[in-house]
Amino acid sequence: MTVNEEKPGLLSRLGRVGLPLPRTLTLEFLIMTLVLSLAVMVRLLPLRWGFYLSEFDPYFHYRAAEYITKNGFFSLASWHDMMGWYPYGRDVAKVYLPGLAMTVVFLYYLLNFIGISISLFNLCVIFPVIMAAVACVMIYLLGRYIGGREVGILAAFFLALNASYISRTSLGFFDDETIGVLGIMIVYYFFLKAVEEERKPKSTALYALGAGLTLGYVSASWGAVRYPIDLIALYVLALLLLRRYSSKLLLASIVTYATAFSIAVHVPKLGLGFLTEASNIPVYIVISLLILAELRRRFNISRKAPMILLGGTILLAIVVLLASLHGLIKLPAGKFVSVVLPFGRSQNPLLESVAEHKPSAWGNFYIDLGISVFLISLGIYFTTRDLTNKNLFLLIYGLTSLYFSASMIRLMLVAAPAFCLLSAFGVVKLLKPFFTELRELRGLPARRRFRAIRTGREYHLTAIILMFLLLTVNYAFPEPRLYLSAYTPTTIAAASLPVKLTITVPDWILALSWMRENLPADAVVVSWWDYGYWITTLGNRTTVVDNATFNATQIKNVALMFMSNETEAIKILKKYNATHVVVFTTFYEDGRDLGWGDEGKWMWMARIAGLNESRFGEYVQGGWRWNDLGKNTTIYKLMNYARSRWLGMPSASPKFFQLVYMSPGTTFMIGNRRCIILVCVYKVNYPT
């Protein structure tokens, strides 16, 4: 080697050793990196309005996580929280699933251990974004396993930009779904791997154990765990009906469910009663059928099989019936039953008053999914044409997701992975013939290739380009739903308004700060249940009702208090030793209701209290008109007095309530009309 020659670099030497990455793998890695970057950047858009937790439930999750860091990893089991549902409080372990709080605390300790210093609150704010990126990787693995590399990449891309999923994993949305959706996909991936025909029993048991552990983790984190539990049972039943039974099905099912249920019964909120919940009965029925199928296979009793199956089914039906009659089988919570039977929801005003419990109109699907509505249909079509075990699972997953998301609009989130997988599957199967033709053209002799290219290449390329143009339009023009979901302020930064303003609306933030700094430490605050978690967590004051809504009687009493006259309201407030009442109102500058505050919720208060709202007024052109009875209600007086004060109009002050705080009253325009928002705190003055 001469003086001027340079030594070969490390990369050159590695290349000589023969460690080049395949081009397809490199391209796959680069595409997934872009998809993950896109998923993260889209979900960080709410940063424009500040670094806050969003919605309401995330604030209690943060409180629970904070309690764990101060009192120990398993301290939730003994926490009796007296700052909510006063004067009784709540046994947190019996009403709260601890999985999310424990997960974020574990991550918090891990990050600080490796030298990444971050506050618990900041970690909770960015946690949904992190989990969304991990979920995109997981759906890539699941899609790749079901339909190949292309399906995996497209499914990850679709999930990264799915409007429903963005709305629940954007910055600050620290809720159960962030780990629930991810956990469900891991369960499906492990279970499908476990029941592969060529897999050895030991490997089947290991994958089933992974599925069971993950399912147990989801059961400790998210109430919607009932869906994957029954979906797997339905998938196994379908395989049985199609005569695709194998011993691996029995082994995988027993290991998965035994592991998951062993974890679930140790979650205090679920307990042993979870085993006898009606939603788990299909599991026991399917496992019993699997055992019968295994007995038939081992002892070669094919002639007697129909009689054995019929007898076993009748016996199971009798056992289930007797158990139901003796109260051994219980129904899950009402909101879970209402998903399966949505028409029964109208019998429960409290359940129906929650906006995300409404059924989905078909228009919601198109607004949410765009062109993917048609791609999902294609995916369903192609899965039915080639009904392999994997395609059968995807078909069942998609159809059940479609039903439940139509039943309750919130479950568009649960359906998002299924819709993304079906869309990706449909696109790949639709374009596969065109790509195949292009490859075949490349392999023809020169003369034949020249003739074929002139007639066929343009056609195939045009079809492919048109498909990707449709996808581009879906995600870029004119203003897709995904950007509306992502580029939106967190709920508290928008002061709970359903409009996107260019500024942070500080009224709730300022009101909660005032409560924290000025109300006595032993103050008991009454508001409508929507704002309970905010007042407890950010205002650091005790509340009577909050977003957990597990005590319907207490919520009914608060509703009745607001809909009663002051004399009756004081009697109800005295039962709870309430010291302050908070109301939230929005209105036009002429004083008329805007409808986004308590003036839009009082009708639900009336219904929950067992009253008919028509007693308090009537609809006229231009909105609601209160009658004398309505104007004498406590909720009307508290809202109207604050409005009048802000507008500078004369108004009689309430008899037993003293206005001690009124937010600045942020103003904004809707069309050419000026609107105002107020958060008001009243002190309760009991008569001597």
CA distance 101 to 159: 25
* More confident of the two residues 681 and 197: 681
What integer pLDDT is reported at residue 458 of this predicted model? 57
Q: Cα 380 vs. chain centroid, distance in angstroms?
A: 24
Segment 609-623 shows an average pLDDT of 88
pLDDT of res. 198 = 87
- pLDDT over 70 at 552, yes or no: yes
C-beta atoms surrounding 329 within 10 Å: 17
Burial (CB count <10 Å: 0-12, 13-18, 19+), residue 342: middle
> What residue ranges in 484-579 does DSSP mark as E strands?
524-526, 542-543
- Average pLDDT over the chain reads 86
315 in Cβ contact with 321 (< 8 Å) = no
In whole angstroms, give the CA distance from residue 245 to residue 253.
12
Task: Give mean pLDDT, residues 336-362.
Answer: 64
In the prediction, which pLDDT does 670 show? 87
Measure the CA–CA gap between 290 and 309, rounded to whole angstroms: 10
**Structure confidence by residue, pLDDT tens digits, 256-287:** 999 999 999 999 999 998 998 888 988 998 99
Helix (H/G/I), strand (E/B), else coil: 45: helix
Average pLDDT over residues 528-544: 97
pLDDT score of 411 more than 60: yes
The H or E element spanning position 43 is helix 23-43
Of the two residues 221 and 330, the one the predictor is more confident about is 221
Neighbours of 565 (CB within 10 A): 13
Distance CA(457)–CA(315), nearest Å, equals 63
Which helix or strand (DSSP H or E) is residue 562 part of? Answer: helix 552-563
In terms of pLDDT, which residue wins out, 306 or 180?
A: 180
- pLDDT for the residue 446: 52
φ, ψ at 243 (rounded to 5°): 60, 45
List the structure tokens of 685: 């003055």
Pairing between strand 524-526 and 580-588? parallel
CA dist 496 and 511 (Å) reads 13
What CA–CA distance (Å, rounded) separates 619 from 153?
52
| DSSP secondary structure code for residue 593 in this structure | B
pLDDT band of 623, cuts 50, 70, 90: confident
CATH number belonging to the domain at 507-684, selected among 3.40.50.12610, 3.40.50.620, 3.40.718.10, 3.30.465.10 = 3.40.50.12610
pLDDT at res. 128? 97
| CA atoms lying within 13 Å on the CB side of residue 504 | 14
Q: What is the pLDDT averaged over residues 136-161?
A: 95
Question: What's the pLDDT score for residue 486?
Answer: 77
Upstream peptide bond of 228 is cis (omega within 30 degrees of 0):
no
Residue 506 has pLDDT above 70, yes or no: yes
What pLDDT score does 115 carry? 94
Average pLDDT over residues 500-505: 85
Measured CA to CA, the distance from residue 642 to residue 598 in angstroms comes to: 13
Residue 331 is predicted with a pLDDT of: 62
Paired with 623 in beta bridges are 620
Asked if residues 579 and 520 have their Cβ atoms less than 8 Å apart, the reply is yes
* Least confident among 127-136, 352-361, 384-393, 591-600: 352-361
Global confidence as pTM: 0.89
Residue 188: its H or E element: helix 177-194
Buried-exposed string 10-41: b where 16+ CB fall within 10 A, e elsewhere: eeeeeeeeeeeeeeeeeebeebbeebbebbbe
Task: State the helix-helix crossing angle for 177-194 and 201-219, rounded to 10 degrees.
Answer: 160
Residue 19 pLDDT class (50, 70, 90 cuts):
very low
**Beta carbons within 10 angstroms of residue 470's beta carbon:** 14
Identify the sign of the CA torsion 514, 515, 520, 521. negative
Assign 180 to helix, strand or coil: helix
Number of Cβ atoms within 10 Å of the Cβ of 74: 11
Which tokens go with 276?
């006898």
Candidates 561, 570, 558, 565; CA nearest to 630 is 565
Sign of dihedral through CA atoms 441, 443, 445, 446? positive
3-state SS, residue 588? strand
639 close to 479: Cβ distance less than 8 angstroms = no
What is residue 508's predicted lDDT score, i.e. its pLDDT? Answer: 97
Asked whether the predicted pLDDT for residue 82 surpasses 90, the reply is yes
pLDDT of res. 13: 42
With 90 as the cut, is the pLDDT of residue 688 above it?
A: no
Kindly give, in sequence order, each residue whose CB lies less than 8 Å from that of residue 577, ignoring residues fewer than 6 positions away.
Answer: 86, 87, 524
| Distance separating the N- and C-terminal Cα atoms of the chain | 104
pLDDT band at 545 (very low <50, low <70, confident <90, very high): very high
Q: What is the DSSP string of 97-131?
A: --HHHHHHHHHHHHHHHTT----HHHHHHHHHHHH
pLDDT at position 368, please? 77
Poorest-confidence range of 84-88, 136-140, 369-373, 581-585? Answer: 369-373
Q: What is the mean pLDDT of residues 75-88?
A: 95
Specify the range with the lowest mean pLDDT, choosing from 31-40, 84-93, 428-437. Answer: 428-437
pLDDT in tens, 305-336: 566 666 666 776 677 666 666 666 676 665 66
* Spans of all domains in the chain: 507-684
